[in-house]
Amino acid sequence: MNQTEEKIIKSCCRTCHGGCGVLVHVRDGRVTKVEGDPECPINWGSMCAKGLSVIQMAYHPDRLLYPQKRVGKKGEGKWQRISWDEALDTIATKLMQIKADYGAESIVLSEGTGRDYEPYFSRYQNLLGTPNLLSAGFVCYVSRIAACRVIAGDHIVADFDGNPNCVMVWANQVTVTNADEYKGEGLNRALAAGAKLIVVDPRLTYLASRADVWLQLRPGSDAALAYGMANVIIEEGLYDRDFVERYTHGWDEFAKRAKEYTPEKVAEITWVPAEKTREAARLYAQTKPAAIMWGVPIENTSNCTDNNRILAVLMAITGNIDIPGGNVFYPRPPIRNISSFALFRMLPPEQFEKQLGGDRFKLAHYQGQMNTKVVWDAILTGKPYPVKALQIHGSNPLITRADARYIYKALSQLEFMVVADFFMTPTAELADIVLPVATWLEMDWVADTWKRHGYALPRRKAVEIGECWPDAKMFNELGKRMGQEEHWWDNWEDGLDYWLEPAGLTWEQFKEMDYLKAEMVYRKHEEKGFRTPTKKFEIWSTQMEEWGYDPLPDYRDVPESPFSKPEMLKEYPYVLTAGARSPVFFHSEHRMIPWLREIHPDPIVEIHPETASKHGVKEGDWVYIESPRGRIQQRARITPGIDPRVVAIQHGWWFPEIKTPDHGWDRSNCNILTENSLETCDQAMGSTNLRVLLCKIYPVNEKEAC
């Protein structure tokens, strides 16, 4: 008689940005249930739909389980299963030949959003010798780290552990989506304890409906609204005089600029009534301690850097920097950081200076980030040098990057492309080699360390499925095949011991712990100052000044708006905001998971009732959304929670259920509409304007509907 084996494994989720403590139930070598771990101090047992559905992802019949090579033309969908040895040997041979012929810089490595394998990936990059690592960071999260670094020395995070009495949530839906450091439970607990809530969002979200003050701004006008709040705080003497006088650099110049942004002027720019701006400014400045948490919408625009800087300045002038319940600098756990693990010193400075776009986007270059357009241009034009190969891990740029048709053209002309993913995505369909990636259920890992919440958590392997490998194992084995043997391990997991070495721990010891966390110390600036050239919080950034940028944050309108392009309004009368989040998807992921598609079967465009009536659109109709770059269709949701002048669409859409190789990538993909010229990017960070543009809408006829 066979005996059933059952066990519960404590682990750490990574179905979205992850980090939530989980309990994984395993029976006879198969995961049967996943639930939140009530003992985890960052989610206290709460779980989202994405994490709860990971079993359907891991055991999905369409999941990639073996390495494959393309046997037909690109985009034909003809694949052949191969061994790991053949896959790795093919990749290593081809990349080394391209390196010999064109230089390491002709190989671009690309990663998705926060996949946790960054230490291994960056180590592989630096040893390979390419300065070109393409991540989502230049439009998401790393851009805010970079902005905070130059003015405050490090990234600033809302301190829910310190019990804020006021929270200003700016362009974020932390209770339903993946918000980097944060889990929604932290905010929920603060609100339950009585904290005041200010929400800045053009849409009536769940959080906006709970807010004490909701600021429904025009999409893309964030910096102007923040300056309007600064104007009120300064004019009414609500700023922290002691902090400003002792710890800031550039106050007088900033106050002079803020004087220009009266609430009445700001109302014209942002559509937020002047009294609403005053109300929010007073509530935030007078309720101590107060914290700001912001999301990627302000970073997906051409004003990315200054959007980030001005919010950080609001924290500083109200004295909410590094105090309990304010915005703080969490110390990192005592393990190797990505920089030391990645062996950045192994990439010669002269090679780093070859980074595409590095001479133009200097803040991005400073943070090791790069703009995508320069990569697609180099593929198609060979300038400033040719890009011949692209190795992509956990990213689907054909769906997630601006100007999707241009990307399709570039990827179609690459000499060699490798994609590592869970499923055959539209991007993977254009690859030469596709590698099957292990989910977080299938690997040991030191998790969540890239975030700035101060924790490291053990992710414990629960099962093994097919021939799927962790990305880190791929880098370890590829590196050894490419002449980097002395810098890699016989077993990739030995690198976990190396990672943990400064803490005096091995992986075997760490996996018996619940977490590792550094001791928090507040008000570090009172003893040490800030890690900036002036040792002060630099409202006036000396580093930005040195690079030739405006040393103060400023407001610049997005490239297409009723103000910047009024001549377009006759044909494209609506402000389009793209990227509205769904609680069940993570960017372009999870649309093949039955539970999640049942909850959210179709892409959604939100339209005000007045606007819908004007165009003869009813609830549930398929609607064309068109910009000068193209058109897509999404299904209408009629809602009074949006301005009649604004249309909101979702991002990340493709259709795995369409079994042709294109998977319908251009039907509802918002990046058919976006543009990606270098002139309209954020000139410091290179961030593309993914979020805000002008559009028109009209009904889809029955024959053309998705």
Q: What is the pLDDT of residues 678-691, one digit of tens each?
A: 999 999 999 999 99
The CA-atom distances, in angstroms, between 428 and each of 61, 446, 662 are 17, 28, 10
Residue 461 pLDDT greater than 90, yes or no? yes
CATH of domain 156-328: 3.40.228.10
Q: Locate 127 and state its tokens.
A: 């040893």
Reported confidence tier of residue 2, pLDDT bands at 50, 70, 90? low
- Residue whose C-alpha is closest to residue 604's, from 666, 668, 689, 662: 668
* pLDDT at residue 288 in the model: 97
Residue 345 pLDDT greater than 90, yes or no? no
Residue with tokens 């304890």: 193
CB 158 within 8 A of CB 167: yes
Over the Cα atoms of the chain, what is R_g? 25
Mean pLDDT along residues 114-128: 91
Give the pLDDT confidence of 552-576 residue by residue, as tens digits.
999 999 999 999 999 999 999 999 9
Residue 4 pLDDT greater than 90, yes or no? no
Please name the helix (run of DSSP H) or strand (run of DSSP E) that holds residue 133, with its range, or none.
Answer: strand 133-134
Please name the helix (run of DSSP H) or strand (run of DSSP E) that holds residue 225, with its range, or none.
Answer: helix 222-235
How far does CA 433 lie from the centroid of its chain? 26
Residue 379 pLDDT greater than 50, yes or no? yes
Question: Which fold does the domain 566-704 belong to in CATH?
Answer: Barwin-like endoglucanases (2.40.40)
CB 551 within 8 A of CB 250: yes
Domain with CATH 3.40.50.740 in the chain: 68-139+334-439+465-491
Percent of the chain whose pLDDT exceeds 90: 91
Mean pLDDT along residues 388-408: 97
Please tell me the pTM assigned to this model. 0.96
Question: Could you write out the DSSP letters of every residue in 82-112?
Answer: --HHHHHHHHHHHHHHHHHHH-GGGEEEEE-
Reported confidence tier of residue 242, pLDDT bands at 50, 70, 90? very high
CB 609 within 8 A of CB 626: no
Q: Locate 282 and state its tokens.
A: 């007073």
* pLDDT at residue 622 in the model: 98
Q: What is the phi/psi pair of residue 263, to 5°?
A: -55, -30
**Amino acid (1-letter code) at residue 461:** K
Reported confidence tier of residue 1, pLDDT bands at 50, 70, 90? very low
Give the pLDDT confidence of 606-665 residue by residue, as tens digits.
999 999 999 999 999 999 999 999 999 999 999 999 999 999 999 999 999 999 999 999
Strands 213-215 and 290-294, how do they pair?
Answer: unpaired
Residue with tokens 């300065």: 131
Phi-psi region of 102 (alpha: psi -120 to 50; beta: other; left: phi over 0): alpha
Give first-to-last CA distance, the chain, whole Å. 53
Residue 635, SS3 per DSSP: strand
CATH 3.40.50.740, applies to 68-139+334-439+465-491: yes
* pLDDT at residue 176 in the model: 82
- Residue whose C-alpha is closest to residue 138's, from 532, 401, 408: 401
Q: What is the DSSP letter of 508?
A: H
Which range among 1-5, 43-47, 540-544 has the greatest average pLDDT? 540-544
* pLDDT at residue 481 in the model: 97
Query: Which residues make beta-bridge pairs with 214?
Result: 199
Side by side, which strands form the sheet with 445-447? 445-447, 455-459, 516-517
Q: Locate 330 and state its tokens.
A: 């969490």
Give the pLDDT confidence of 581-621 residue by residue, as tens digits.
899 999 999 999 999 999 999 999 999 999 999 999 999 99
Average pLDDT of the chain is: 95
Residue 3 pLDDT greater than 70, yes or no? no
**Amino acid (1-letter code) at residue 187:** L
Give the pLDDT confidence of 135-167 residue by residue, as tens digits.
988 898 899 999 999 999 999 999 999 999 999
Higher pLDDT, 70 or 173: 70
Domain with CATH 2.40.40.20 in the chain: 566-704
Please name the helix (run of DSSP H) or strand (run of DSSP E) that holds residue 246, with its range, or none.
Answer: helix 241-247
Reported confidence tier of residue 541, pLDDT bands at 50, 70, 90? very high
484 C-beta neighbours (distance < 10 Å), count: 19
